[in-house]
Amino acid sequence: MPSNCTTPSRRGPAMSHLLSRLKRPTRTDNAPRYTATTGHYESWFIRANHPTEPKALWLKTTILHRHDGSAIAEAWCALFGIGERPTWVGKATVPVAEARFADSRVQAANCELELGQGTPLTGASATGAVHGQDALQASWKLRSTPAEGALATQMSLFPGRWMIDGPFPKNKLLTPAPSVLMTGEIRLGETRVNVDGWLGMQGHNWGQAHAFAYAWGHVVFPDAAGRPICVAEGFSGRIKVAGRATPHLSALTVRRGDRRWRFDRLIDLWSQSSQIGDMTWRLRMRGRDGEASIAMKAPPESVVCLGYENPDTSLAYCLNSKLSACVLRVNPIDGDAFELRTDHLAALEILTREPDDRYPVAA
């Protein structure tokens, strides 16, 4: 084979185009990927959990550009264990021209998220209000500070940065702030909740359409004083290839103190075993760092159903709980095994193509 067979002059146009896309300068984790083209959704979201009580907040701002050329921005708020209802959902929608999306700040309707930059992130804030169930209004004024050390640095479930900025896979997920401490207040109608030392995170995802089906989980484990000591995030998802759904492709990453364990060989089906059930998700992974398993279960009363519109106007249904129980077990190849548990500090989301009659659809 000639020694110059891999030079640009011998590459085909398709390969040269692909490599040029992969070599583009990386963007900041929260930089908008929206380019005003049809067939795009993008979200920035924040969650926070009371460290000892079953109370939680979830906020999200979203861009949706439909195939018909129309574009909207959405502000979502879900509350768990706050007020008289076990769950509450509110939403506001405006034309995308009335919203703002930039690296450090996203704003849709009355929800504004000011996002920290750098590694570790310098913190973030969230203000806003939306109306929802029972004509109640939820409002919030929050500020976050990053956890210490490696727990605060950006987290990605993909094995390489090229998967974030390149064309594959079509659905992207980043966690710019995997562990933060939240302060401030939340109001729901006449109910006021003080937020002091709540465990939180901030994420960013985007794509041409919502994934076909998945389970996603994120958990922050605290010590006895409420300080974060371990973060874990993972998913099991199915994508469509040539019109057919693949088996579950999974990944899991764990951080404890300054140690990190990654299980991200997405298409190595021999190294992973996953089960998605009735608001349950179990994943067992093997890899170069050892073995790990995570199991999450959400009580039915802590679940909301969110109707996510795709660019073709079809709906995907996200069963969402921020009060899930979680058991994490890690058996490192070069250290002692450990196990961590929580009754209500985990976030669990299960996306399906069919609604669940037990939960009203918020859309």
| Tens-digit pLDDT profile for residues 114-165 | 987 655 556 788 999 999 978 899 999 999 999 988 898 999 998 888 888 7
**What's the pLDDT score for residue 16?**
44
The pLDDT, as a whole number, for residue 21 is 43
pLDDT, one tens digit per residue, over 161-209 is: 888 877 778 889 999 999 999 999 999 999 999 999 999 999 999 999 9
- Tell me the whole-structure pTM to 2 decimals: 0.90
Please state which CATH number belongs to domain 29-362. Answer: 2.40.370.10
Q: Can you tell me whether residue 271 is helix, strand or coil?
A: helix
List phi, psi (to 5°) of 196.
Answer: -145, 105
> How many residues in total does the chain contain?
363
Contacts of 169 (CB under 8 A, 6+ apart): 163, 239
Beta bridge partners of 232: 219, 254
The low-confidence residues of the chain, meaning pLDDT below 50, are 1-25
Q: Which residues sit opposite 204 in a β-bridge?
A: 44, 174
Phi and psi, residue 300, nearest 5° = -55, -35
Q: So what's the pLDDT on residue 122?
A: 63
